[in-house]
Structure 1
Amino acid sequence: MQRERGATAAAEESRMNYFVTGATGFIGRHLLERLLARKGTVYCLVRKGSEEKFEALRERLGAPKERLVVVRGDLARPRLGVAPAQLAALKGKVRHFFHLAALYDLTADAEAQRTANVEGTRHALELAEAVNAGCVHFVSSIAAAGLYPGVFREDMFDEAEELDANPYFRTKHEAERIVRTECRRPFRIYRPGMVIGHSRTGEIDKIDGPYYLFGLIKKMRQMLPPWVPTVGLEGGRINLVPVDWVVAAMDHIAHKPGLDGQCFHLTDPAPRRIGEVLNVFARAGHAPEMAMRIDARMFAFVPGAVRQALASLPPVRRFVNVLLRDFGIPPELMRLINYPTRFDCREAERALKGSKIALPKLEDYAWRLWDYWERHLDPDLFVDHSLSGKVKGRVVVVTGGTSGIGRAAALKIAAAGARLVICARNEDELAATRKEIEAAGGVCHTYKTDLTDAASCDAFVQQVLADHGHVDILVNNAGRSIRRSIALSYERFHDFERTMQLNYFGALRLILGFLPAMAERHRGHIINISSIGVLTNSPRFSAYVASKAALDAFSRCAQAEYSDQGVSFTTINMPLVKTPMIAPTKIYESVPTLTPEEAADLIVEAIIERPVRIATRLGTFAQIVYALAPRAYEIIMNTAFRLFPDSAAAKGIKGMREAAQAPTSEQIAFASLLRGVHW
C-alpha cells in the first residue's frame, strides 16, 4: 500500500507543470532552480527584448528547452498578451501559477509602478483563469502593510496605513486586493520582507534596501580605522531575508496541501534596528562601528508641521540632497528610518515546521553580501577612474612642476593626455622637464615664474589665459619648508615672511587669477598641496604649518562660496615625502617617507575623485585626538619636540660632521610609529 502511494505521488508530481512570470528577475531565477529540481515543465513569460536574457538564464541553469519553455507576452496587455494558440496549448496543463513579475523599486515613478504592479497582476489573473491554473501563487510584499504602527498579522489586510507614503506601498496593496477579490482560482499570497542577496553566494542583481547604505560604510572605512568608535542613528526595525531562504520557503509552502486562501509572511521574526544592521555590515566591511546610536524617535516631540517647515527651507533641502547624493542614498529611503511595522509570521512558521528550512542569521552571511557588492555592484566600479578620462584635452596647471612631487605629477598628468602647463624659476629645469614629457608624446607648456613675486604671478596668470583661454585644473604644489624651533626664530622673522609669501600668497594669487573664468564656465578644480603638519601641529614647523594652514582655511571658505558654481577645492594634507626640500634634515634619511611618485598618486586621486580633503588616517586621527583631548595631545607632541633636536643648519652651525646627526633608535622608532609626520 505504501509503495502504491509513493508511485501515485511520483505520477502526480510528473504531471505538475508551472507557469512563472518574472522568471528572469532576482527572486524568479532562484525559484526556477527549485522548480526544475522537481518534475514537470516550467513555462516562463518572456517579453519581447528579453529573449537573450532568458536564454542566458537557461544556459546557466542547464535546463533543456522542453523543460524550460518560453511563452512570449507582456505584463501591460490583457491575459499578459499570450497568443490564442498558446493559450489553448496551456489550458489544463498548469498546476501552479507563480506571479512574481512586478516593479520592486521605491524610487520608480507612480505610473510605471501602477502599470507593472496593479495592471500586470490583473492581467496575470486573467491568464490564470484562461488556462484553468490549479493554484495562483501571488508574491506580494510587506509593503502592502504601508507604514502600519505595530504588529501586522498575516490575516490583516485592510488595516494597512499610510499607503500614500510611497507609490510602491499603494500599488502592492492594490495588487494584493485584486488577488483577494477578483481571483477565481485557488490562491496563496506570500509577503516577503526586504529581500537581500543569496546567503551562500552573496549574489544580488541591483542596489536596493540596505545596500544603499554600503557607500556610507565604505566612506567611513576610508576615513577612519575600524577600531575608532563613531556615532549614528538607531532607527526602526527593518526586516531582511535572503533570497535563497525566500524561494525555499515559497516552494515548500506552494506544494503543501490544504493552505489555499492563506497569506504567509516570509519575514524575520526578530528583525534588527537600522543601527544594528549598519554595524553588522560595518564589521563585514572592516569599517568603524557606531558605538553610540541615537534613537531617531527622540525627535518625534518636534511637531510634524515644524519638521516639515524646516525640511522645506532651501538651505536645509540642498544640504540634505547633497549629503544623500554623496552617499548614494535615495531620499525615499529616509522615510523608512523610523519604520514602525513588525510582522507576525506564525502561519509561515507553522507551514515550514519540519521542513528544515531555517532562516540564516545575518551575521553569518553579511560578509558574503558585502564581498559581492564590493566586487560587482559598488557604483565606483562603473565610474571612469582613469586619469585620462578626467584630464584628456584639458588645461592643467602644476606649479613647481620641475622637481619632486610637482615633476612626478606633471609626468603622470601629461601622459594622460592633458594640455599641461608647468611653471618654475629655473629655465633649464623647465626645458628638461618639457623635453622629457614631449619625448613621451605629451604636451607641455612652460613658463618661468617666481611665485614669491606678485607681479610675476599676475603676468603668469594673464599669459596662461591668453594662450589657453582658461584653466580646468590648478595644482598649487610649489612650496617652501623650514624646520626650526621658535626659540631659534626670535631674530628670524623673515622665515615666516618667506614661507607665507610662497606657500600662501603665491598660491592665493593664482587662485584669484584663474577662479573668475572657472566660475563663469561653471567648471574648475583647485588642488592645494598642504601638509600633514596642519593636522598634527608638528613642532619645529610653525612657519611652514602656519602658511599651509592659511591656505587650508582659505579653501574651506572658498568651498562655501563656489560649491554651487561647479568649482571644487581639494586639500591634500601630504605626509612626509622624500624630496630635495627635506634633504637638509638628515634624520629623514632613516624614517619612512613617501616617494615623489607615491605623492603624485595622491594628486591623481584628487583629480579623479574631487574630494574635499585627502589625508592619511594618522593625520585624521591626530586631529580627532587633539579635538577630544588637547592636553594629552600636547604632551605627546612635546615629547616628540624634545626627542628630535634642531638640526645643525637650523642652529646656524656650519661644517658639523654627518655622524653627529645620526638618529637614535628611539627617534627612528617614534618616527616609524607616527609615519609621515614631520619631526
Structure 2
Amino acid sequence: MALGMPPRAGLSYALTSTALRRRATPRLLARSCKGMRMTYFVTGATGFIGRHLVANLLKRKGTIYCLVRKGSMEKFEQLKEDLGADDKRLVAVTGDLAKAKLGVSPAMQKTLEGKVQHFFHLAALYDLSADAESQQVANIDGTRNAIGLAELIRAGCFHHTSSIAAAGLYPGVFREDMFDEAEDLDDPYFRTKHDSEGIVRRECKRPWRIYRPGIVIGNSQTGEMDKIDGPYYFFRLIKKLRQTLPPWMPTVGLEGGRANLVPVDWVAAVMDHIAHKAGLDGHCFHLTDPAPRRIGEVLNIFARAGHAPQMTMRLDARMFAFIPQSIRGALGSLPPIKRFTQMVLRDFGIPRAILKFINYPTRFDSRETERALKGSKIKLPKLEDYAWRIWDYWERHLDPDLFVDRSLSGKVKNKVVVVTGGSSGIGKAVAQKVASAGAIVVICARGEEELAATRKEIEEAGGICHTYVVDLSDLASCDAFTQRVIEEHGSVDILVNNAGRSIRRSIALSYDRFHDFERTMQLNYFGALRLIMGFLPTMSERHKGHIINISSIGVLTNAPRFSAYVASKAALDAFSRCAQAEYSDLGINFTTINMPLVKTPMIAPTKMYDHVPTLTPEEAADLVVQAIIERPVRIATRLGLFASILYALAPRAYEIIMNSAFRLFPDSAAAKGMAGRPELEQPTNEQIAVAALMRGVHW
C-alpha cells in the first residue's frame, strides 16, 4: 500500500484523509474500495443499455449519479420508480452531452470530486439513419466532454461504451486489441463510433476500459426493447409473409453476412462484472456472440417465433458480386427500379442504409471477454431460446402498425366525401358511417325524396350532408354535378362510385335487348368515369385524393347471366388500373372493391336471392370504410381471388364449373319478360347448397 504503511492503516488513511486521497492513484482507490460502498457516475442512464446497467449497479452498495438533461427529468423519475430506488441511491445531475464538462455545475463538480470510482459513459447516438452532424455532436463531442468531466472530478476508471461499428467493415476477424486496422469508415455512424473510441485511447488520462457490444436487441427474459433497430427492421416483412402465406409454405430469401446479436440484459451484466474486476484497465472487450449466425438464419429464427413461413432456399448475397459495381449502380438508378425499391423499403419501414450491411464481412474475437467472465456464471443465452419473447414484445409494443391511425375519423374528418347512389343500399350506409366520423358528405341520386330522407337521418345524428339530384346515366347531368360540387366545396377528397345498375339475364334472352348492354355501360362505366374525369384535375393540383369504385365479385368469377353488368364493371376496373399507373406519383389512390352479393333493392327482382347468403348494406359499407382507411389497390373476398387464380391456371376446367352452375340456375321471371309474376319454381336444395358453397357469387 501507499507510503509504506501497514495495509489496514493505509486503507483507513486513504479513505479518511483528503490530502492523501488527492495524491492516490484512481486505480488504488478502485482497488482499495473493493467490497465497500461505491460511487458511480453514469451518462445515458435513462437509455436502453443504461437502464439495465443501472439496475445491475443498484444491486451493489453505493450511490449512482446520473447525467440527465432538463427535458429528460421525467424519464429519470420513471426510471427511479421502475427500479424502486430512492433519492439517496439514484441522484440526478443536470447537464448536457454537448456542453463542456457535460454542462455539470461547479457546485456538483465539487460534490463529485474525488468520490467517483467508476465513470460509465454510455450516452451516444445509436442510429444508422441519423445525420452526420448529430452523430458528431453526440458521439465525438459528447465523449470528449465526458472525459473532460472525468478528469476534473478525478474519477477512478472511465468506462467507455463503444460498438462493433468501430471496426467499420473490416474483412475478417477483428480482435479486441485491434483498433487502427478498422476499414471502410465512410458511414457517419461507423466513423463517429471509431473516432470517439480513439479519443478515449489517446486523450483520456484516467484509467479506462472500452466495451464494444454487438447489435443489442431486447431483454432475453422479458423481450423489452426501446426502438426499432437491427433485425427488427425486417419484422414487418415477416409479419406480412405470415398474413399472406401459410407457415408451411417455403419461400426464397437471402443468406447474407453474419449478424452479431446480443440481448441487452447480458450486455449490462457483462459490463457490470468486468467493470468491477481488477487488473483490466487499458483493455477493450467485445461483448459479442462468438458464434454469430448468418442473416438468413436469424430471420428464420424470428419467422418461427412469429409463426411465419421460413426461407427454405436462401441465396447468398455475395453471388451478386460478380456483377460489376458500375452495372449494379446503373440498374439501381433506373427510375422504375429506384421507385419500386423506395416503395418496398418505405412500406416495410426498412432504412436504405441497412441494405449495405447485408453482406457484413466482420467477425469478432471475444477471448478477452471470455477470460474476464470465467467463473462468473454469466452465459450468453441462445437466440432460439428467447426469440419468441423478442417477437412477442415487438408485436405488442413496437410494431409500427400499432401507431397508425386506423380510425375512420382520422381519415375523413372535415374532408369532402362524395357518395353516388347515396340515398339507399350500400351508398346510404356508407354516407351514414363517414358522416358519423366527421366527414362533409355529398350524396347524389335521382330520387329527391329519398335524398331528403337520408339527409334528415344524417343531420339528426349530428352529421353534415349535402344532397344533389343527379342522373348519372346523363353525361350532361354528371358534368353539372361535378362543377357544382367544386364550386360549393372547393375540392373532393374521396369519391365513392357506388351507383350502378345490374341486369341478370342470359345472353340467349338478350339477342334483341342490346339496350341492356348500353344502359349498364352508360351508368356503371361512363357515368362513373365522367365523375372521375371531373374531379381528377383538382385532385391532381392538390396532390391528394382517393377514388373508390364499387365493382363486383362477378368480374373475378366471370358470373354467367351477368355479361352486361360484369362487362361494365370490368371496364371500370381496367380504367382504374391504367389511371393508377399515371397518377401514383401525384398522391392519388384508386381502390377497386369487388363486392360480393349484397341484399339491396337492385337484386330484389331475383327472388332466389332471398334464399342465399348475402351481405347487408352495413356489412358492405364496412368494406368501403376499410378501403378509406387502408387505401389498398383492391378489396376482394378469398373466394373471388381463388376463382380468378383458378381461371388463370385452368381456364377450361373453370369453364366447366361455371357452365354447370349456369345450367343449374334458371333465368328469373323478370329476365324472361314476365315481370310481376311469381317465380315458376322455388329454389331447389341443390341450388341453395351451391349458392351457399360459393358464397357471395351472383348466379
| Residues 339 and 626 of structure 1, relative CA distance in 2, 3 Å threshold | farther
Is 2:162 aligned against 1:144? Answer: no
Deviations 1:454-499 (A, max 9, x none): 2332232233233333222110112233445556656654444333
Where do residues 237-276 of structure 1 align in structure 2 (5 Å cutoff)?
237-276=258-297
Q: Distance in 1 between matches of 2:620 and 2:123?
A: 52
* C-alpha deviation, 1:157, in angstroms: 1.9
**AA in 2 matched with 1:269:** P
**Match of residue 459, structure 1, among 459, 465, 480:** 480
Deviations 1:371-392 (A, max 9, x none): 3333333333333333223222
* C-alpha deviation, 1:241, in angstroms: 1.9
Q: Distance in 1 between matches of 2:431 and 2:479?
A: 22
Where do residues 407-418 of structure 1 align in structure 2 (5 Å cutoff)?
407-418=428-439
Q: Who is 1:110 aligned against?
A: 132
SS in 1 for 2:180: coil
* C-alpha deviation, 1:649, in angstroms: 0.6
| Unmatched segments (≥5 aa) in structure 2 | 1-7, 9-30
Task: Report the identity percentage.
Answer: 74
| Residues 510 and 52 of structure 1, relative CA distance in 2, 3 Å threshold | same
* C-alpha deviation, 1:404, in angstroms: 2.0
Deviations 1:187-229 (A, max 9, x none): 2222111112222222222222222233333444455555555
Where do residues 55-94 of structure 1 align in structure 2 (5 Å cutoff)?
55-94=77-116
Stretch moving more, 580-589 or 519-528: 580-589
Residues 611 and 683 of structure 2 are in contact (CA less than 8 Å); yes or no, is this contact kept in structure 1? no
Q: Who is 2:180 aligned against?
A: 158
Q: Distance in 2 between matches of 1:546 and 1:230?
A: 37
Residues 224 and 617 of structure 1 are in contact (CA less than 8 Å); yes or no, is this contact kept in structure 2? no
Q: Distance in 2 between matches of 1:259 and 1:601?
A: 65
Residues 607 and 679 of structure 2 are in contact (CA less than 8 Å); yes or no, is this contact kept in structure 1? no
Residues 273 and 373 of structure 2 are in contact (CA less than 8 Å); yes or no, is this contact kept in structure 1? yes
Q: Who is 1:175 aligned against?
A: 196
* C-alpha deviation, 1:537, in angstroms: 4.2
Where do residues 181-220 of structure 1 align in structure 2 (5 Å cutoff)?
181-220=202-241
Q: Distance in 1 between matches of 2:679 and 2:509?
A: 18
Deviations 1:595-653 (A, max 9, x none): 322221221222223233333445445555555xx12x653563355256223417737
SS in 1 for 2:682: helix
Residues 143 and 173 of structure 1 are in contact (CA less than 8 Å); yes or no, is this contact kept in structure 2? yes
Q: Distance in 2 between matches of 1:191 and 1:621?
A: 52
* C-alpha deviation, 1:117, in angstroms: 0.6
Q: Who is 1:135 aligned against?
A: 157
Q: Who is 1:639 aligned against?
A: 657
Deviations 1:86-138 (A, max 9, x none): 33332332222211110001111111111111121122222223333332221
SS in 2 for 1:50: helix
Q: Who is 2:27 aligned against?
A: none
SS in 1 for 2:577: helix
Q: Distance in 1 between matches of 2:409 and 2:57?
A: 49
SS in 2 for 1:564: helix
* C-alpha deviation, 1:246, in angstroms: 1.5
Q: Who is 1:476 aligned against?
A: 497
* C-alpha deviation, 1:59, in angstroms: 1.3
Is 2:599 aligned against 1:581? Answer: no
Q: Who is 2:552 aligned against?
A: 531
Q: Who is 2:34 aligned against?
A: 12
Q: Distance in 2 between matches of 1:269 and 1:482?
A: 70
**AA in 2 matched with 1:635:** A
Q: Who is 1:441 aligned against?
A: 462
Q: Distance in 2 between matches of 1:532 and 1:451?
A: 22
Q: Who is 1:100 aligned against?
A: 122
Q: Distance in 2 between matches of 1:445 and 1:48?
A: 52
Where do residues 246-325 of structure 1 align in structure 2 (5 Å cutoff)?
246-325=267-346
| Residues 203 and 591 of structure 1, relative CA distance in 2, 3 Å threshold | farther
Q: Distance in 2 between matches of 1:250 and 1:475?
A: 60
Count of aligned residue pairs for this structure pair: 666
| Residues 459 and 110 of structure 1, relative CA distance in 2, 3 Å threshold | same
**AA in 1 matched with 2:176:** E
SS in 2 for 1:94: coil
| Residues 20 and 635 of structure 1, relative CA distance in 2, 3 Å threshold | same
**AA in 1 matched with 2:656:** N
Q: Distance in 2 between matches of 1:456 and 1:204?
A: 59
Q: Distance in 2 between matches of 1:189 and 1:489?
A: 85
* C-alpha deviation, 1:354, in angstroms: 3.7
Q: Distance in 1 between matches of 2:340 and 2:235?
A: 20
Is 2:598 aligned against 1:598? Answer: no
| Unmatched segments (≥5 aa) in structure 1 | none
Q: Distance in 2 between matches of 1:658 and 1:10?
A: 102
Q: Distance in 2 between matches of 1:437 and 1:308?
A: 57
Q: Distance in 2 between matches of 1:531 and 1:221?
A: 28
Stretch moving more, 24-33 or 398-407: 398-407
Stretch moving more, 189-198 or 525-534: 525-534
| Residues 492 and 192 of structure 1, relative CA distance in 2, 3 Å threshold | farther
| Residues 302 and 427 of structure 1, relative CA distance in 2, 3 Å threshold | same
Q: Distance in 2 between matches of 1:235 and 1:530?
A: 44
SS in 2 for 1:249: helix
Residues 224 and 621 of structure 1 are in contact (CA less than 8 Å); yes or no, is this contact kept in structure 2? no
**Match of residue 441, structure 2, among 395, 401, 420:** 420
Residues 118 and 175 of structure 1 are in contact (CA less than 8 Å); yes or no, is this contact kept in structure 2? yes
Q: Distance in 1 between matches of 2:269 and 2:129?
A: 28
Deviations 1:70-93 (A, max 9, x none): 222222223222233333332332
Deviations 1:581-608 (A, max 9, x none): 3445556555554332222122122222
Q: Who is 2:25 aligned against?
A: none
**Match of residue 122, structure 1, among 141, 144, 148:** 144
Q: Distance in 1 between matches of 2:197 and 2:281?
A: 15
Residues 306 and 388 of structure 2 are in contact (CA less than 8 Å); yes or no, is this contact kept in structure 1? yes
Residues 484 and 646 of structure 1 are in contact (CA less than 8 Å); yes or no, is this contact kept in structure 2? no
**AA in 2 matched with 1:85:** A
* C-alpha deviation, 1:21, in angstroms: 0.9
| Residues 676 and 565 of structure 1, relative CA distance in 2, 3 Å threshold | same
**AA in 1 matched with 2:366:** C
SS in 2 for 1:79: helix
* C-alpha deviation, 1:276, in angstroms: 3.4
Deviations 1:116-175 (A, max 9, x none): 1112112222222333333222111111111222332323222221110x2000000111
Q: Distance in 2 between matches of 1:476 and 1:658?
A: 36
Q: Distance in 2 between matches of 1:339 and 1:622?
A: 44
Q: Distance in 2 between matches of 1:635 and 1:233?
A: 37
Where do residues 367-378 of structure 1 align in structure 2 (5 Å cutoff)?
367-378=388-399
TM-score by length of 1: 0.90
Residues 538 and 637 of structure 1 are in contact (CA less than 8 Å); yes or no, is this contact kept in structure 2? no
**Match of residue 388, structure 1, among 409, 420, 435:** 409
| Residues 29 and 624 of structure 1, relative CA distance in 2, 3 Å threshold | farther
Residues 585 and 647 of structure 1 are in contact (CA less than 8 Å); yes or no, is this contact kept in structure 2? no
